[in-house]
Amino acid sequence: MIDGMVMACDRLKNVSTSLRTFSRADKDYKVPFNIHKGIDSTILILKHRLKANEQRPAIEVIAEYGNLPEFKCFSGQLNQVFMNILANAIDALEEANSGRSFREIKDNPNQIIITTSVVDENVKISIADNGNGISEGVKERIFDHFFTTKGVGKGTGLGLAIAQSIVVEKHNGSLVVNSTLGEGTEFVITLPILTQTQN
């Protein structure tokens, strides 16, 4: 019983720390930020959506982190970008599971792969899923305000539009989507290191 209480307290502490990291108030100026801590806190907050249930095994999150510098940015806003993209990846995997049995999903597990690296003085963050992918028509409109492929009451069509605005307008970066039908979707965030550290 005491072991159980210790485990519960540890979990509560982790969730509390993650929420603090995720929602730390942004100043009107950029602050030093560890990208990996931001991604990890977002994953922990979404853990309830990733764990196994009656319909499917747990969604595997594979983090392949490179050696990133800590740089100045609007950390709370970047965490919102991670939240929107990861939540959309989970939605895409749940949609891809429609009509598949628990065994079929277990044999070809749902995965979200997060990769970070430094490329040409830019931090590059890739968030990819192995869902159904999206069509060219959807890809062309995916960052439009109020565009959504989700059913009524399930999406506002603002998440990715806001994410793109945060990355492009607030951080002088880029957010692009790559997708192949039947294979999955990848969102690539690129943030210039020099721009972040000079502001």
Which H or E run includes 86?
Answer: helix 75-96
pLDDT at residue 24, rounded to an integer: 54
The distance of Cα 85 from the centroid of its chain, to the nearest Å, equals: 4
* CA distance linking residue 91 with residue 44, whole number of Å: 17
Q: Do residues 80 and 160 touch, judged by C-beta distance below 8 A? A: no
Burial class (CB in 10 A: 0-12, 13-18, 19+), 2: exposed
List phi, psi (to 5°) of 21: -65, -45
pLDDT at residue 187, rounded to an integer: 96
Q: Please provide the distance, in angstroms rounded to a whole number, between the alpha carbons at the two ends of the chain.
A: 51
Q: Do residues 190 and 124 touch, judged by C-beta distance below 8 A? A: yes
Sign of CA dihedral 109, 46, 79, 169: positive
Domain ranges, ordered by start, for the chain: 2-198
pLDDT at residue 17, rounded to an integer: 54
Q: Count of CB atoms within 10 A of residue 155's CB?
A: 17
* 2-198 CATH: 3.30.565.10
Q: Among residues 11, 109, 14, 127, which one has the least CA distance to residue 58?
A: 109
pLDDT at residue 145, rounded to an integer: 61
pLDDT at residue 58, rounded to an integer: 95
Confidence (pTM): 0.81
Q: How far is CA 199 from CA 22, 140, 175, in A?
A: 22, 32, 20
Listed as ranges, residues in the chain with pLDDT below 50 are 18, 21-22, 152-153, 156, 195-199
pLDDT at residue 153, rounded to an integer: 47
* CA distance linking residue 55 with residue 49, whole number of Å: 12
Q: Do residues 144 and 164 touch, judged by C-beta distance below 8 A? A: no
The DSSP secondary-structure symbol of 132 reads: -
pLDDT at residue 160, rounded to an integer: 87
Q: Count of CB atoms within 10 A of residue 143's CB?
A: 17
